Each structure stands twice: as structure tokens, then as C-alpha cells.
């Protein structure tokens, strides 16, 4: 039985037609373990996700590029070739065999990319030379086969190219369906392309995709409508990061923007809205003790299922559910070092620490070598 302290975490919840047996979601995490060349999901990734599949749970896969132009880092997977689809199919089959569900996260890096991955100049809503000339710290660098490098100078998308961008998401959504995923999540956070269009620190356009909040939301709304037409209602989620400045993103009035966006998202039959709490900057907790502020605010505006992610401990996750600020809680770092995380929380077992130095090391270290808990009382060594 679930420990009383975490009884809400282990209550069922509906995500569209899917019934989850608990509310602990494995959040998407870039880990850079795909095969090269080809950006094909690897046997190592198969092992990693299988280890973390728990009966009745939901895994949201790492950011998966919708096209070569949208690929944002060495070792990250894609969903635009048959080989990539085949690689993901092996993973979804293994996850399903353990009774879990899996969504693909569709990702277009936009300006945060390098020509060694994209094969051409990256794209953005508007040109910002400071972004590639003065990248603000290592978080804004791009992983390449030669190590971290500054992003390649980007160009502004022409309005006649928007249909092609939407088409890239549609093709990836179709491929995700072929690969056996249970749904998809659109990555509209952390300064990637869809987020670049949302926020006026990066979107300086004067056409129908820039200026007003309505115009800046337009591309995301069109991608949502197009991918829902592939998957049907309640199978497409979206991830946002209100107030985040990660990867050089910013807006002059983020509260107004994301409140407006939450209102607009009620027009779509979404699987869920996935919110990264503003206390998180990438993998770093930057506001110790701050509660689920972003989820609390947007819960008042968005009427569907809501996942809150970022800086949660089991007890604070339970409190957030009890407060009604979210329906599910995403865990990231703790899923890295605790492949059996739901079981550990269920049984009140201690959680293992994670090693940041191995988050992006391309091999099994810090990836598939974290052991499950030994039920005799100690982590297996």
C-alpha cells in the first residue's frame, strides 16, 4: 500500500484515454546517449528507459528533434528517419511490456543549434547577433562532436517557411505514432524555437507571427492544431517554462504572456499542460524554499490536466497535489539516480544522490549503472 504521507501521489489519474496508476511522471531529460551517426536511439537508451518503467506510470522521453534543422545537440535523438523510428519502437515496446506509458517530446532547437548538426544555418523568429557572439555561459553553448561550441549564427525565418516548420512537427508526430508512443509533448520551453516565438525578448517580428501576444502564440497554436489532427484529442501535451530565462530567453511581461497562453490552451483538447517551475534554471534549483508558484498561478487559468515539474521532493510533491495546484508531478534528477523512484517513494526508501558530472557523458556511467533499492535495506552496489 502507499505510505499515508504520499497517498495522493499513488492515486489514479486520467490522461485522456489513459489511466495512470500513480502521479509520478518521469520528466523529459536531455542525456545525449543516441547512436552516431544518425541520431538513432541506442541500446543504452533502451536499457535506461526500461529500467525506469513502472507499472501504470508515465515516461516523457527526452527532447527529440523533428528534423535535421531542429536538431540541437550531439547525442540527441531524432524522429525524422526510418532508423530513428525503429530505434524508438524497440524502446516503446519494452516500456509497454512493463505496464508503463510513454510520450515523445517533439523538439525544434531553433537558434540554439550548431551547423555540425543542422547542416545549415539555424533558424529563429528574429536575428540576435549577441546570442552567438556573446553566449551567456556554458548553458548557451551547443554540444558537438568536438565539444561545447557557441551556436552557429542563425537567420530569421521567412513567413513563407512557417508551413514547412509546422510540417516538420506533423511528420515527427506521425513518426511518433508509428513508433508506438502513447502521445506526444510539444517542447515550448527553455528558449527553443516555439518558446523563441512566444517571448518578445527573442521575437522582434512585425508580421502576423510577432508583436502582440496573439501573434506570438500563433505558431504554437498552429503546431498544436496540426499535431492534434494527427493524434486526435487528449493525446498531445505541451511543456512551458513561465518566467524562465534559461538559454537567453526573456519577455517584457511573462505573467501576462503565460496567463494569456494558458487561456488560449483551453481551446485545444490537450492531454495535459506541463509546467516547469520558475525556481528551476535548467537542472539547477535557484530559489530554495519557493513553492509551486507557476503551477499555482496557471491552475487558475488552465482547465485541463496539469503536470508540475522542478525541484520537487516526495513530500512537497504530495503537498502540491493536496493544494490542488497540479494533477501530476514530474521528477527529473531523482529519476536519473533512482531507476525505481516510484517504488522508493511508495515504500519510503531513501533516495540515492545523482552525479552531475555524468549527466552528459555519452556512455553508461551515470546513466544505466544506478542500482535499484535492495529490499533488504540498502542500495545495491
Q: Cα separation of 113 and 118, whole Å?
A: 7
3-state DSSP of 56-108: CCEEEEEEEECCCCCCCCCCCCECCCHHHHHHHHHHHHHHHHCCCEEEEEEEC
Catalytic residue among 192, 260, 349, 373: 192
| DSSP state for residue 303 in the 8-state scheme | -
For residue 79, what is its C-alpha cell?
Answer: 524522429
Pairing of strands 306-309, 272-276: parallel
Q: Cα separation of 168 and 325, whole Å?
A: 34
CA dist list (Å): 227 to 126, 223, 224, 231, 332: 25, 6, 5, 6, 26
Query: Any residues with CB less than 8 A from the CB of 284 and at least 6 apart, and which?
Result: none
Neighbours of 138 (CB within 10 A): 7
Q: Which helix (H) or strand (E) holds 227?
A: helix 213-231
Going 310 to 196 to 61 to 353, the CA torsion angle's sign is negative
CA 115, chain centre distance (Å) = 23
Q: Cα separation of 130 and 111, whole Å?
A: 12
Q: Cα separation of 304 and 273, whole Å?
A: 7
CA 48, chain centre distance (Å) = 17
| DSSP state for residue 373 in the 8-state scheme | E
8 Å CB contact between 83 and 39: no
Q: Cα separation of 198 and 216, whole Å?
A: 5
Q: Cα separation of 241 and 27, whole Å?
A: 13
Is 192 in the active site? yes
Residues belonging to the active site: 192
Amino acid at each position: 500500500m502507499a505510505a499515508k504521507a504520499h497517498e495522493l501521489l499513488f492515486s489514479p489519474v486520467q490522461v485522456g484515454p489513459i489511466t495512470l496508476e500513480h502521479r509520478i511522471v518521469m520528466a523529459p531529460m536531455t542525456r545525449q546517449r543516441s547512436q552516431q551517426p544518425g541520431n538513432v536511439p541506442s541500446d543504452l537508451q533502451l536499457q535506461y528507459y526500461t529500467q525506469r518503467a513502472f507499472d501504470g506510470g508515465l515516461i516523457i522521453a527526452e527532447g527529440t528533434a523533428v528534423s535535421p534543422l531542429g536538431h540541437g545537440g550531439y547525442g540527441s535523438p531524432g524522429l525524422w528517419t526510418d532508423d530513428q523510428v525503429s530505434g524508438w519502437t524497440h524502446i516503446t515496446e519494452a516500456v509497454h511490456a512493463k505496464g508503463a506509458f510513454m510520450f515523445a517530446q517533439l523538439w525544434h532547437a531553433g537558434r540554439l543549434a550548431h551547423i555540425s548538426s543542422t547542416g545549415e544555418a539555424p533558424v529563429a523568429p528574429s536575428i540576435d547577433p549577441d546570442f552567438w557572439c556573446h553566449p551567456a555561459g556554458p548553458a548557451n553553448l551547443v554540444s558537438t562532436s568536438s565539444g561545447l561550441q557557441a551556436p552557429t549564427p542563425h537567420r530569421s525565418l521567412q513567413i513563407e517557411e512557417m508551413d514547412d516548420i509546422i510540417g516538420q512537427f506533423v511528420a515527427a508526430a506521425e513518426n511518433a505514432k508509428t513508433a508506438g508512443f502513447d502521445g506526444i509533448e510539444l517542447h515550448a520551453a527553455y528558449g527553443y524555437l516555439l518558446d523563441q516565438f512566444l517571448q518578445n525578448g527573442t521575437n522582434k517580428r512585425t508580421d502576423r507571427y510577432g508583436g502582440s501576444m496573439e501573434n506570438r502564440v500563433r505558431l504554437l497554436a498552429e503546431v498544436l492544431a496540426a499535431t492534434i489532427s494527427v493524434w486526435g484529442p487528449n493525446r498531445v501535451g505541451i511543456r512551458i517554462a513561465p518566467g524562465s530565462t534559461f538559454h537567453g530567453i526573456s519577455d517584457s511581461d511573462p505573467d501576462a504572456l503565460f496567463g494569456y497562453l494558458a487561456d488560449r490552451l483551453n481551446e485545444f483538447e490537450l492531454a495535459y499542460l506541463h509546467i516547469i517551475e520558475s525556481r528551476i534554471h535548467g537542472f539547477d534549483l535557484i530559489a530554495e524554499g519557493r513553492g509551486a508558484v507557476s503551477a499555482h498561478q496557471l491552475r487558475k487559468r488552465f482547465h485541463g490536466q496539469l503536470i508540475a515539474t522542478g525541484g520537487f521532493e516526495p513530500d512537497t510533491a504530495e503537498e502540491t497535489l493536496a493544494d490542488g495546484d497540479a494533477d501530476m508531478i514530474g521528477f527529473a534528477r531523482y529519476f536519473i539516480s533512482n531507476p525505481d523512484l516510484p517504488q522508493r517513494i511508495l515504500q519510503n526508501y531513501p533516495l540515492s544522490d545523482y552525479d552531475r558530472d555524468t549527466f552528459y557523458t555519452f556512455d553508461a556511467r551515470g546513466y544505466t549503472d544506478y542500482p535499484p533499492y535492495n529490499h533488504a535495506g540498502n542500495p545495491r552496489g
